[in-house]
Structure 1
């Protein structure tokens, strides 16, 4: 069994990004990411802090806009509109979830698709599902693809199961695996017999947000398992997979923490650099 070490692979990507940042600086381009945090959700604050630190470690300018819980949708849209027209900003990230009085779909659509480094704008989603290169890919599934490639795992022809059908992970993950030539089944918490699918899978990506959802008796020997789950049990961070027992049957498996999380942030940085390069071309 081999651990899919997201920390190690993400560091390699960050080292490459540092070099790209230096080249961009030599051409008078300072890559910049604007991060908008609305409210005081503790988990969101942690994520934003991690993203800010990652930017700084690679030489990317990070600008944080902290707005209070009472911020109106109109006020948030006005800020996004200002950033859309700011030529010094390469990426705009609105940390989710948003307060209930703000419609996240309207907010996502308001971001300039050329600065949508999260890869959530309908235009970028459409490019992904049409397998048209050049768009921004959602960071978590893109990070998973990079992680699997780093371990020379060939996806073409694999029988893959994605557990979870969110717009952030499950759906784009399935699309990326299809684009790589895998045969893909999408399952979720309403799937009647999950093991019917997982027992035949050569690759399982588990992103349902449910502790110990995937157990050892649900997988076959040699399976590749990627755990996207982030759950807290008695203050300890755990995934969706019964790691201790599933790892005994897996050929490759990602841990929580230290697997997918670092790769997600690395892809955010990569998307920001991609946007900065586009600015250089246009300049």
Structure 2
């Protein structure tokens, strides 16, 4: 029996993939994307493989340039992005796998490297200047829409104030007519704020931060967290205590994650359509 409470990211990802497959068939050429992977962080390597596999299934040419973290200069990677990837005959879309290792950044911020990407090729939406919000935010919006969840006039609380997810998620929800409040894991009266939410988005990376006594009955819960604890991937939300009170909830894994990968591919195909017209 299907559980109507669970927002099944894998199911919705498949629906989007089918539609995307039809769009790709109508293109004049194969979409081309490039991912830069610096270092060999196990999670980054895994996520890269997932993207490569998904692109392959969809018939997308998605290449990964792998660079050693300790033997690649910041300037050389910036030059590669600007002079090779940003060129009109370069790939349709570009992304850099985050997090970028500290030994490579040498005190610089990830933003400094991301801003080398031509915003019109930014499939991950992380330059803040391109046509798309961050892919994880796009995934959240897709899941809410697919589930028929009303946003206009609702109180949305976003826990996590990062530039990658929290802040842009708050901005997009506000554009859709929600009354939005943004806070983080260290907010003093966090429970008071989360109890007021009709829609709660948590993206802090703090496992089990959101407990059952912190939400009201009928809330929609979107869990963007994904951390490894005792060999298991867990989210920000303490699922067992939150699930009974939520009207809808994304599981971890299997919620926002699968949809984020498909959103990246949707963004790439959209840019390819623009380039081939």
Question: Which residue of structure 2 aligns with residue 114 of structure 1?
Answer: 120
Partner Cα distance (2:219, 2:92) in 1: 39
Question: Which residue of structure 2 aligns with residue 143 of structure 1?
Answer: 139
Partner Cα distance (2:138, 2:19) in 1: 17
Question: Which residue of structure 2 aligns with residue 60 of structure 1?
Answer: 60
TM-aligned CA deviation for residue 189 of structure 1: 1.8
Q: RMSD of the alignment, in Å?
A: 1.1
Aligned pair partner of 1:91 in 55, 68, 93: 93
Alignment of 1:203-222 (within 5 A): 203-222=199-218
Alignment of 1:121-132 (within 5 A): 121-124=127-130
TM-aligned CA deviation for residue 88 of structure 1: 4.5
Aligned pair partner of 1:23 in 21, 26, 32: 26
Name the SS of the counterpart of 1:2 in structure 2. coil
Name the SS of the counterpart of 2:186 in structure 1. coil
Runs of 5+ consecutive residues of structure 1 not aligned to the other structure: 125-134
2:223 maps to 1:227: yes
Question: Which residue of structure 1 aligns with residue 40 of structure 2?
Answer: 40
TM-score, length-scaled by structure 1: 0.92
CA contact (8 A) 2:157 2:197 kept: yes
CA contact (8 A) 2:124 2:132 kept: yes
CA contact (8 A) 2:125 2:134 kept: yes
CA contact (8 A) 2:159 2:184 kept: yes
How many residues align structurally? 268
Partner Cα distance (2:90, 2:61) in 1: 10
TM-score, length-scaled by structure 2: 0.94
Question: Which residue of structure 2 aligns with residue 80 of structure 1?
Answer: 81
Runs of 5+ consecutive residues of structure 2 not aligned to the other structure: none
Partner Cα distance (1:209, 1:74) in 2: 30
Partner Cα distance (1:274, 1:115) in 2: 10
Aligned pair partner of 1:258 in 246, 254, 258: 254
Partner Cα distance (1:208, 1:88) in 2: 35
Question: Which residue of structure 2 aligns with residue 130 of structure 1?
Answer: none
Partner Cα distance (1:12, 1:252) in 2: 19
Partner Cα distance (2:38, 2:229) in 1: 26
